[in-house]
Amino acid sequence: MHVPDGFLDATTSTGTAAVAAAGVALALRGSRHELDERTAPMAGLTAVFVFAVQMMNFPVAFGTSGHLMGGALAAVLVGPWTAVLCLTVVLMVQALVFADGGLTALGTNVTLLGLVAIGVGYGVFRGLRAVLPATRTGLLASAGVGAFLSVPVAALVFVGLFGLGGVADVALGPVTAAMVGVHLLIGLGEAVITVAVLGAVLTVRPDLVRGGRHLLRARELAPRPDLAGATAVDAR
């Protein structure tokens, strides 16, 4: 669910647009360590993946369904800067082609779903990864907690923005409670899917999980001793 036009006043929208522009500029600079211009195809396909996965709905509660935001997941998979760029492009396509999320609210959406969600998700992930043991379970747990927290924090920041520049005079207490409550549930779904996706990728192509590079160990090629005899027989 993206913020549409008219939800926040013009000043707040302009402010978040400036924040988003600064964040994307930083990401463009930072992503040079992760990707160069020539590896744009990979970033492009990651954006397509985020876009496709957002179309997969999962049941939340009371018959409602939610979908993955994918910020934390993308950050662990391809690195935070590239993830910001991918999410920005996905949000642009959703606003321009599907009118999902307002054009003047694009800055707000990039700030919330791109910068805040990825910042929180990846920050928590890095913090926990440093503390937890360097194993597959430790990695998955840190990513799961990061993904879980990224959703309610993004919702909280939205409530904050709404308090600053919302067009309605609403008591912020109940709104905060409702928003955070719902998004805790959505965050659980986000965490479960993030862990499941990362687990699947770690099993098949662990080298594609950028946040899990430390788990890869260089292995030397060695003949399996028990097969040596069998090959000799085949060669005959």
Find the binding residues for another protein in span 76-115 (CB under 8 A): 77, 85-86, 88-90, 92-93, 95-100, 102-104
Total residues belonging to the chain: 236
Q: Which is nearer to another protein, 99 or 134 (CB)?
A: 99
> Residue 43 in contact with residue 77, Cβ under 8 Å?
no
Site pattern 145..184 for another protein (x: CB under 8 A): ----------------------xxxxx--xx---------
CB of 97 to another protein, least distance (A): 5
CB of 121 to another protein, least distance (A): 16
Could you say which DSSP state residue 40 is in? H
Burial of 167 (0-12, 13-18, 19+ CB in 10 A): exposed
Q: Which is nearer to another protein, 58 or 225 (CB)?
A: 58
CB of 232 to another protein, least distance (A): 36
CA distance 192 to 40: 29
Tokens of 103: 């054009």
DSSP string over 186-210:
HHHHHHHHHHHHHHHHHHH-GGG-G
Q: Which is nearer to another protein, 86 or 157 (CB)?
A: 86
Tokens of 66: 């939610």
Q: Which is nearer to another protein, 33 or 127 (CB)?
A: 33
CB atoms within 10 A of CB 103: 13
Q: Which of residues 114-133 bind another protein (CB under 8 A)?
A: none
Q: Which is nearer to another protein, 32 or 134 (CB)?
A: 32
Counting residues that bind another protein (by CB under 8 A) gives: 72
Q: Which of residues 15-74 bind another protein (CB under 8 A)?
A: 24, 28, 31, 35-49, 51-53, 55-59, 68
Q: 145 forms bridges with which residues in the sheet?
A: none
